[in-house]
Amino acid sequence: MLTRGVTPLALAATLLAACAQQPIPFSGAEPVSTANRFQGFQTYAQPSPGTAHVLVVRDPGIGDSPISAVLSINGIQIARFWTRQKIELYMPPAAYLFVIESGFSGFGEPEPIKVTFESGKTYGFRIKNERSGGFVLKPAERID
């Protein structure tokens, strides 16, 4: 029962805000399981001098989508993410094409993003749910 002064619209807005996508701290995410790391992961799994440190995390979304997201770099699959999971990569300085695809077909063509890494720097990316049911990969505003 609604109390006097609280309208159904206000209640709906509050519930929607509570379900909004909140970024998970990189430190609070679980590593992607070994079973969900593909062969391409090994290429970037170990730190070495001159590499860039790259963090990728999948944020929770409305309803914590039960569909996996797959990260590919330069056309090579790296890892399958579920919500609240992350990977750490060590990338030689260069330009790369990152693509995040749905583990389920039917969500349209993924939009690749071109990224250039510099030696010794740390970069963060977030996988976010889109309203269409697909995913988008965005640079992180900050790394925590």
- pLDDT of residue 18 exceeding 60, the answer is no
- pLDDT of residue 106 exceeding 70, the answer is no
Instruction: Tell me 37's DSSP state.
Output: B
Of residues 60 and 1, which shows the higher confidence score? 60
Q: What's the confidence (pLDDT) of residue 13?
A: 38
Specify whether the CB–CB gap between 56 and 17 falls below 8 A.
Answer: no
Q: What's the confidence (pLDDT) of residue 144?
A: 76
User: How many angstroms separate the CA atoms of 56 and 115, rounded?
Assistant: 13
Specify whether the CB–CB gap between 114 and 96 falls below 8 A.
Answer: yes
- Confidence at 2, pLDDT banded by 50, 70, 90: very low
47-63: per-residue pLDDT in tens?
999 999 999 999 997 65
Mind listing the domains of the chain with CATH numbers? 21-139 (2.60.40)
How do strand 122-129 and strand 52-58 relate by DSSP bridges? parallel
Q: What's the confidence (pLDDT) of residue 17?
A: 40
pTM of the model: 0.81
